[in-house]
Copies of this chain bind each other. A is one copy, B any other.
Amino acid sequence: MTDAMPATRTRRGSSAQGRAEVRRELVAAAARLFDERGYEDTTVDDIAGAAGVGRRTFFRYFRSKEDAISPDHEGALARVAEVFATAHAGEPTTALVMRAGETVFELYTADPALSLRRYRVTHQVAALRDRESASVDHYRRLFTRNLRQRFAGSPDGDMRAAVTAAAVVAAHNLALREWLAAGAPDDGGRSCRERFREVAALLPGEPVRRADPLHAVAQRLEAAADRLERSRLP
């Protein structure tokens, strides 16, 4: 018999560009299907089929069905961490957190149309909203860790770090949501950043920092504890 003709198609994912192309097609297919047919009524088979790949391949590009519609938070998280890591010790904390926060806007302003589609779908599906909340919380934790080190030595340092981090992340999200609700105007994210900057006026004042020998010891202990904590995460 002439057999099933196993579809000798070009293997697009072989090269680096090929992988990027397949990934884009999967994202586009997922966004379109989630939007048209609804998230729950779209299976992974549907997405893979629409992109012209097998179901198994889908899971080689995304860890889960939800990941197909989520932006690359891992990459953005790494960039924010880099901002904190390379920051000059003398930079005012408020300026630093604003700079770190603005880094994340690019994740959305790079492709306004896609961001808009993601926004629409995400805010209609409870499961995706919750996933987004969890992702946002990862930023909050990252900010909190770094601020806790910066505020070390200040009275209420931990509380101040927690509050400041949460405030910055919340302001970021507010600016982002308003930008999306306005139709994601392609101004390079300027409207986003300007709105975001308003949070600076609402942040708690700069804590007192002193040249205290105990300060360095405490900071190193905290850093060690952080490393331990982080190394335990899978």
B220 & A156 in contact (Cβ 8 Å cutoff): no
B208 & A204 in contact (Cβ 8 Å cutoff): yes
| Residue of B whose beta carbon sits closest to that of A155 | B211
**Chain B residue contacts of A153, Cβ below 8 A:** 213, 216-217, 220
Q: Does A78 contact B (CB under 8 A)?
A: no
Shortest CB distance A170–B (Å): 3
Q: Does A95 contact B (CB under 8 A)?
A: no
Complex partner residue of A217 from B126, B130, B173, B214, CB under 8 angstroms: B214
A215 & B155 in contact (Cβ 8 Å cutoff): yes
Provide the bound-state CA to CA distance between A234 and B123, in Å.
11
Instruction: For chain A, give the interface size range.
Output: 35 or more
B174 & A167 in contact (Cβ 8 Å cutoff): no
Provide the bound-state CA to CA distance between A131 and B198, in Å.
30
CB contacts under 8 Å to B, within A195-234, are 195, 198-199, 201-202, 204-205, 208-218, 220-225, 227-229, 231-234
B229 & A229 in contact (Cβ 8 Å cutoff): no
Determine which residue in A204, A217, A227 has the highest number of CB atoms from chain B within 10 A of its CB, and name it: A217
B158 & A174 in contact (Cβ 8 Å cutoff): yes
Shortest CB distance A67–B (Å): 13
Complex partner residue of A166 from B166, B209, B213, CB under 8 angstroms: B166
Q: Which 7 A-B pairs have the closest CB atoms?
A: A166-B170, A155-B211, A130-B134, A133-B137, A225-B227, A202-B204, A166-B166
Interface residues of A (CB under 8 A from B): 124, 126, 129-131, 133-134, 136-137, 140, 152-160, 162-163, 165-167, 169-171, 173-174, 195, 198-199, 201-202, 204-205, 208-218, 220-225, 227-229, 231-234
Q: 22 pairs across A/B with beta carbons < 8 Å? A: A126-B233, A129-B134, A133-B136, A134-B134, A153-B217, A155-B213, A156-B202, A156-B209, A157-B220, A158-B220, A159-B174, A159-B198, A163-B171, A214-B214, A218-B221, A218-B224, A220-B222, A221-B221, A221-B224, A222-B224, A225-B227, A227-B229
